[in-house]
């Protein structure tokens, strides 16, 4: 009994796969555009500000609110959690209970007050000393220029 090696498959299918992969990558690059509409952070901030709860809004309640507005919560669950954590670290939201993305969240009244007053200042006259006068101790999020001409 002689053993024979199986025949090698033809190389033609491998050559046709490479252009197909490039076509998929090109189509994926076209789809990589930012989705229209507000960002997750904006949606979360709107949902928390719309709530009348004194003790804050829980993660489950936020998800229900977003789902009612038509946002796909199951698909974007991780984005919601990351958005909540970033809003807490920026100081936009305050976490009343829990740790991480779980718990209850409220708007930070101290930051909201100082930034709304600071945004009313003209761009040319913003300086670090002007921002410190509002008590938030934060510099502006946008670049400021002081002209000395």
**pTM (two decimals):** 0.54
Q: Which residues contact 23 (CB under 8 A, 6 or more apart)?
A: none
Q: What are the pLDDT digits (tens) for 87-101?
A: 999 999 999 999 988
Cα angle: 103, vertex 107, 108; to 5 degrees: 110
* 96 to 6, 9, 51, 103, 117: CA distances (angstroms): 68, 64, 15, 7, 25
Domain 41-107 has CATH 1.10.10.10: yes
Domain boundaries, the chain: 41-107, 109-149
What are the pLDDT digits (tens) for 46-61? 999 999 888 999 999 9
Q: Tell me, what's the pLDDT at 52? A: 87
The answer to whether 44 touches 85, Cβ cutoff 8 Å, is no
């Amino acid at each position: 009994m002689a053993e024979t090696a199986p025949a090698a498959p033809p190389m033609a299918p491998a050559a046709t796969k490479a252009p197909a992969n490039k076509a998929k990558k090109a189509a994926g690059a076209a789809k990589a555009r930012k989705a229209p509409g507000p960002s997750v952070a904006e949606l979360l901030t709107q949902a928390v500000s719309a709530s009348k709860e004194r003790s804050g809004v829980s993660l489950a309640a936020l998800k229900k609110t977003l789902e009612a507005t038509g946002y796909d919560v199951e698909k974007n669950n991780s984005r919601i959690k990351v958005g909540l954590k970033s809003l807490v670290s920026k100081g936009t939201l305050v976490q009343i209970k829990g740790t991480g993305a779980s718990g209850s969240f409220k708007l930070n009244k101290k930051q909201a007050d100082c930034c709304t007053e600071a945004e009313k200042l003209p761009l040319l006259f913003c300086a670090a000393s002007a921002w410190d006068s509002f008590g938030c101790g934060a510099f502006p999020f946008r670049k400021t220029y002081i002209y000395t001409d």
